[in-house]
Amino acid sequence: MSSERDRVRDEWQAVAGGWRRWEPLFQSFTWPLALRMASVAEIGAGQRVLDVGCGIGDPTLQVAVLVGPHGRVLGIDLADGMIATARERAAALGLAHVEFQVADVASVALAPESFDTVIARWSLIYVADPSGVLARLRGALIPGGRMAITAWAPPEVNPWIAIPMAELGRARPLPPFDPGVPGPFHLSADGALARALVQAGFQAVQQERVVLSQFAHDPEEFWGMMLDMAGPLAPLLQDLPAPTRGEVARGVAAGIRPFRSGDVYRIPAQAQLAWGRA
Q: Where are the domains of the chain?
A: 2-153+178-213+270-277
C-beta of residue 207 within 8 angstroms of C-beta of residue 270: no
Straight-line distance from the first to the last Cα atom of the chain, in angstroms, rounded to the nearest whole number: 27
Predicted local distance difference test score (pLDDT) of residue 226: 83
Predicted local distance difference test score (pLDDT) of residue 258: 97
Predicted local distance difference test score (pLDDT) of residue 15: 63
Predicted local distance difference test score (pLDDT) of residue 45: 98
- Reported as a single tens digit per residue, the pLDDT across 150-170 is 999 999 999 999 999 999 898
Sign of the dihedral defined by the CA atoms of residues 39, 210, 278, 124, in that order: negative
Predicted local distance difference test score (pLDDT) of residue 60: 97
Full 3-state SS string of the chain: CHHHHHHHHHHHHHCHHHHHHCHHHHHHHHHHHHHHHHHHCCCCCCCEEEEECCCCCCCHHHHHHHHCCCCEEEEEECCHHHHHHHHHHHHHCCCCCEEEEECCCCCCCCCCCCEEEEEEECCHHHCCCHHHHHHHHHHCEEEEEEEEEEEECCHHHCHHHHHHHHHHHHHCCCCCCCCCCCCCCCCCCCCHHHHHHHHCCCEEEEEEEEEEEEEECCHHHHHHHHHHHCCCCHHHHHCCCHHHHHHHHHHHHHHCHHHEECCEEEEEEEEEEEEEEC
Predicted local distance difference test score (pLDDT) of residue 83: 95
Predicted local distance difference test score (pLDDT) of residue 149: 98
Task: Fold for 2-153+178-213+270-277, please state it.
Answer: Rossmann fold (3.40.50)
Low-confidence ranges of the chain (pLDDT < 70): 1-2, 7, 10-12, 14-19, 230-232
- Reported as a single tens digit per residue, the pLDDT across 217-244 is 999 999 988 887 766 677 777 778 889 9
Predicted local distance difference test score (pLDDT) of residue 11: 67
